């Protein structure tokens, strides 16, 4: 039986992918950093947890032992390139049959942005490793509105973003997880790169409209200037490198470079990609005032 290691397993994409693979005819090894967050996997069939700290070689060695495939997810940190390369080295050492890499849409853009260049550097390292690979390049996640805007939506009915009327092909993380499940469990996806988006390009006004319908409250998009967004991020203790990277990402979307749509999710899963209305309906309770 295949043993699939998922790094960053308790994160947004990792936890959905563990759930998607639970019940399949594979052994899922969830690489868990904070053990307490791994509790959610305790009752899932065919899922085992392993403590994984990228900075601790003992945990890396144990996590990779006996692994046949890896879903390589790295966190949004300044050292993500060295972590990504380190994980590929471990995958090579145990001779896995496939590394599925979570990258990002636009990773191959020239000259692109810092986040994309970091992802591309890891992609190239993987391609050059000779390991069989599959790269997933998703657009921005719909779930970012849960992670970054839930408080202002709950408390003020507002979404603050510096995106102007820029359109983004937001994707639901459930679709990324289902694509990951498919490419990890069928033989047809070796040395392929998949660009994944939702079904339509959306402004934040469109997102606010979907959330308005789902919550029965008027949710409004407030288009904030870049410097206001930067100050808010600094106030939330985001490090300077992250503020710069986020502003660059937002600037690119505002200028209209993030609205490309692909039909890859539907081609791979056989189902239409989930819409912003599907997402908003599922998450409506998260946005209720407390």
Ligand X SMILES: NC(=O)c1ccc[n+]([C@@H]2O[C@H](COP(=O)([O-])OP(=O)(O)OC[C@H]3O[C@@H](n4cnc5c(N)ncnc54)[C@H](OP(=O)(O)O)[C@@H]3O)[C@@H](O)[C@H]2O)c1
User: How far apart (Å, rounded) are the C-alpha atoms in residues 42 and 256?
Assistant: 43
Sign, CA dihedral 148-154-155-156, equals positive
Pairing of strands 192-196, 133-138: parallel
Q: Which residues ranging from 40 to 99 are in contact with ligand X (CB under 6 A)?
A: 52-55, 73-76
Beta carbon nearer to ligand X, 52 or 91: 52
Site size for ligand X (CB under 6 A): 25
Cα angle: 94, vertex 100, 103; to 5 degrees: 130
- Provide the minimum distance between the beta carbon of 278 and ligand X in the complex, in angstroms, as a whole number: 17
Q: Is 217 exposed, middle or buried (0-12, 13-18, 19+ CB in 10 A)?
A: middle
- Binding test (CB under 6 A) with ligand X, winner from 4, 5, 6, 8: 8
Pick between residue 144 and residue 275 the one whose CB is nearest to ligand X: 144
Q: Is 102 in the site for ligand X (CB under 6 A)?
A: yes
Q: Which residue has the tokens 């660059």?
A: 248
Which lies closer to ligand X via its Cβ, residue 172 or residue 278?
A: 172
Cα distance between residue 254 and residue 165, in whole Å: 7
For the segment 112-131, give every residue that binds ligand X (CB under 6 A).
115
Residue nearest to ligand X (CB): 11
Q: How many angstroms separate the Cα of 83 from the Cα of each of 35, 64, 108, 222?
A: 20, 14, 20, 36
> CA of 203: how far to CAs of 153, 168, 174, 209, in Å?
16, 6, 21, 10
Closest distance of CB 95 from ligand X, Å: 22
Which of residues 10, 98, 174, 262 is near ligand X by CB under 6 A?
10
Return the residue matching tokens 């601790």: 56
In the list 67, 100, 138, 246, the residue contacting ligand X (rule: CB under 6 A) is 138
Instruction: Closer to ligand X by CB, 39 or 226: give it.
Output: 39
Residue in 4, 5, 6, 14 binding ligand X, rule: CB under 6 A: 14
**What does the binding site for ligand X look like in residue numbers (CB under 6 A)?**
8-14, 33-34, 37, 52-55, 73-76, 102, 104, 115, 138, 140-141, 144
């Amino acid at each position: 039986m295949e043993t699939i290691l998922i790094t960053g397993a308790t994160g947004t994409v990792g936890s959905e992918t563990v759930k998607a693979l639970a019940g399949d005819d594979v052994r899922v090894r969830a690489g868990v950093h904070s053990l307490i967050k791994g509790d959610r996997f305790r009752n899932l069939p065919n899922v085992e947890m392993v403590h994984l700290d990228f900075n601790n070689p003992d945990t890396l060695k144990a996590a990779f032992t006996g692994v046949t495939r890896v879903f390589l997810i790295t966190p949004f940190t300044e050292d993500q390139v060295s972590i990504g390369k380190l994980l590929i080295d471990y995958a090579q050492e145990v001779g896995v049959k496939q590394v599925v890499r979570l990258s990002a849409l636009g990773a191959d853009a020239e000259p692109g942005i810092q986040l994309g260049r970091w992802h591309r550097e890891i992609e190239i390292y993987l391609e050059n490793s000779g390991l069989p690979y599959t790269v997933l390049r998703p657009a921005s996640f719909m779930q970012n509105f849960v992670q970054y805007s839930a408080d202002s939506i709950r408390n003020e009915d507002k979404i603050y973003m510096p995106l102007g009327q820029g359109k983004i092909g937001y994707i639901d993380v459930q679709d990324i997880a289902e694509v990951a499940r498919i490419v990890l469990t069928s033989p047809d996806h070796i040395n392929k790169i998949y660009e994944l988006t939702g079904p339509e390009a959306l402004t934040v006004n469109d997102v606010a409209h979907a959330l308005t319908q789902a919550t029965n409250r008027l949710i409004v998009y407030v288009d904030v200037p870049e410097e206001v967004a930067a100050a808010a991020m600094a106030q939330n203790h985001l490090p300077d490198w992250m503020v710069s990277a986020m502003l660059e990402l937002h600037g690119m979307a505002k200028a209209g470079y993030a609205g490309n749509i692909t039909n890859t999710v539907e081609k791979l899963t056989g189902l239409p990609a989930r819409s912003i209305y599907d997402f908003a309906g599922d998450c409506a309770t998260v946005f209720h005032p407390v």
